[in-house]
């Protein structure tokens, strides 16, 4: 007999939402996560020595268009805790100075190119090819290309255009852009701590094999677990390795999917120690960092916080701190708190959607699901949407009215 009906490997928002759906369908579910915390790339970093002041080291905004996520939050009583984000402006960081966004816009080129939005298809095109055409090559070079790099924290030129932005219906009863009292990590924590869900953090799955109609999972500590159904919610390279022993065709479909590593620097200062006015963040045109996001959207009386995202391994810690402080008129030695975090994000490329289709074909009819932030796009809602789709393939349609309404 299996130890669990359903095991989910991976405790980011994709795995947590997959586990949530199955728990609320009455299915015995265990979630395994290698890290010591839930959330994955959602990481609100709080500093006890600064009265709990927190800064987002990963994802930093949720929207009222995130219907499936909102449905889960509503079920768990989290929706009433949302807090509005104050409107702040992004600035460009170019040639060692902050500039307004519109300073890089070429209006005449945009007016000539923009009608292409209605006739040029996204499907099968790279971001640089599609947006370079419908926005103009100069606009893409000077403004939109850097902005897209900022969104995905890596070079976006070769991203599939259809994966970068997806239009979603909005809920008018929810704040347009919101955060949570303790940062967005309140959401994965709330999912992980709900009654009925068993979680094991600091637990790495190493090998998956077949066990009759189900699966056996060998853990790093030598423990073996069995489940009737299994969901993988891990990066594509980890998914490829875990699938190789149980679904070689599925593993083969995603063998070339890449992962980009990001060095994230979080810095907190007393308000008087920062020279830049309150901003939403910085879009880098030519700096060593890809982007910066501030905590100014939820102002604090004493502190300001910033997260800078750098390509991994190109600068050492001190060099990252110096580059960041130059952009916000601050000094590294004045920081009240500093942490360095390594994040891993999918590096999607042209032809990605065909690989996903091949993966889905290989999974069809099996008791195995695969989800993550590398399917429909890179937003939090894209992760949850993929998990919902895979849940319904394994277990059938979701019957809960609130969650069903969210899908609409």
Residues 253, 275: Cα–Cα separation, whole Å: 50
The reply to whether 223 and 274 lie within a common domain is no
Checking if the pLDDT of 236 tops 90, the result is yes
Residues 360, 179: Cα–Cα separation, whole Å: 33
The reply to whether 270 and 382 lie within a common domain is no
For residues 153-173, give the mean pLDDT.
86
| Residue 83 domain-assigned (yes or no) | no
| pLDDT band for position 164 (cuts 50, 70, 90) | confident
| Residue 78 domain-assigned (yes or no) | no
Domain boundary among 347, 371, 388: 347
Q: What is the pLDDT of residues 347-389, one digit of tens each?
A: 888 888 899 999 999 999 999 999 999 998 789 999 999 999 9
The reply to whether 403 and 274 lie within a common domain is no
| Residue 88 domain-assigned (yes or no) | no
The reply to whether 239 and 356 lie within a common domain is yes
- Please, what is the angle between helix 13-23 and helix 67-75, to 10°? 50
**What's the confidence (pLDDT) of residue 304?**
98
**What's the confidence (pLDDT) of residue 406?**
47
Q: What is the pLDDT of residues 30-81, one digit of tens each?
A: 999 999 999 999 999 999 999 999 999 998 999 999 999 999 999 999 999 9
Return the C-alpha torsion angle 274, 277, 282, 285, nearest 10: -100
The reply to whether 49 and 23 lie within a common domain is no
| Mean per-residue pLDDT over the chain, rounded | 93
**What's the confidence (pLDDT) of residue 401?**
46
Domain boundary among 347, 371, 392: 347
Burial level of 126, CB count in 10 A (0-12/13-18/19+)?
middle
Per the structure, the complete domain to which residue 377 belongs is given by: 4-41+178-257+352-407
**What's the confidence (pLDDT) of residue 198?**
96
Fill in the DSSP letter of residue 323: H
Our count of domains for the chain comes to 3
The reply to whether 247 and 182 lie within a common domain is yes
Residues 229, 20: Cα–Cα separation, whole Å: 15
**What's the confidence (pLDDT) of residue 226?**
96
| pTM given for the model | 0.93
For residues 70-99, give the mean pLDDT.
96
CATH classification at residue 298: 3.90.660.20
Residues 6 or more apart whose CB falls under 8 angstroms from that of 368 comprise 215, 229, 230, 231, 232, 243, 246, 247, 250
The reply to whether 343 and 204 lie within a common domain is no
| Residue 79 domain-assigned (yes or no) | no
| Residue 280 domain-assigned (yes or no) | yes
Fill in the DSSP letter of residue 140: I
Checking if the pLDDT of 131 tops 80, the result is yes
**What's the confidence (pLDDT) of residue 407?**
45
For residues 231-254, give the mean pLDDT.
96
């Amino acid at each position: 007999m299996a130890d669990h009906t359903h095991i989910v490997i991976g405790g980011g928002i994709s795995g947590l939402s997959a586990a949530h759906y199955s728990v609320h369908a009455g299915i015995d579910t265990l979630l395994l996560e290698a890290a010591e915390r839930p959330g994955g790339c959602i990481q609100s970093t709080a500093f006890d020595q600064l009265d709990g002041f927190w800064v987002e080291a990963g994802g930093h905004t949720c929207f009222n268009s995130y219907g499936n996520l909102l449905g889960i939050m509503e079920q768990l009583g989290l929706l009433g805790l949302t807090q509005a984000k104050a409107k702040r402006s992004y600035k460009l960081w170019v040639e060692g100075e902050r500039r307004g966004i519109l300073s890089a816009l070429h209006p005449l080129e945009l007016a000539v190119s923009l009608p292409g939005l209605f006739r040029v298809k996204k499907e099968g095109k790279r971001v640089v090819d599609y947006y370079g055409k419908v926005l103009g090559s100069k606009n893409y070079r000077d403004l939109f290309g850097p902005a897209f790099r900022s969104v995905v924290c890596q070079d976006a030129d070769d991203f599939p255009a259809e994966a970068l932005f997806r239009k979603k219906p909005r809920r008018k009863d929810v704040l347009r852009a919101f955060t949570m009292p303790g940062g967005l990590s309140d959401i994965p924590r709330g999912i992980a701590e709900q009654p009925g869900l068993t979680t094991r953090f600091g637990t790495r799955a190493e090998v998956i094999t077949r066990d009759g109609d189900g699966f056996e999972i060998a853990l790093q500590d030598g423990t073996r677990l069995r489940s009737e159904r299994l969901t993988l919610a891990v990066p594509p390279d980890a998914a490829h390795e875990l699938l190789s022993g149980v679904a070689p065709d599925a593993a083969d479909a995603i063998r070339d999917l890449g992962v980009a590593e990001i060095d994230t620097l979080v810095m907190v200062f007393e308000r008087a120690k920062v020279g830049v006015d309150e901003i939403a963040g910085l879009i880098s045109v030519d700096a060593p960092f890809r982007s910066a996001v501030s905590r100014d959207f939820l102002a604090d009386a004493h502190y300001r916080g910033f997260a800078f995202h750098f390509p991994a391994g190109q600068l050492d810690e001190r060099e990252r701190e110096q580059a960041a402080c130059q952009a916000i008129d601050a000094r590294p030695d004045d920081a009240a708190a500093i942490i360095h975090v390594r994040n891993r994000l999918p590096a999607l490329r042209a032809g990605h959607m065909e690989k996903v289709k091949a993966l889905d074909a290989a999974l069809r009819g099996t008791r195995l699901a695969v989800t993550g932030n590398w399917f429909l796009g890179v937003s939090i809602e894209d992760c949850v949407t993929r998990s919902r789709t895979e849940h319904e393939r394994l277990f059938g349609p979701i019957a809960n009215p609130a969650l069903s309404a969210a899908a609409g």
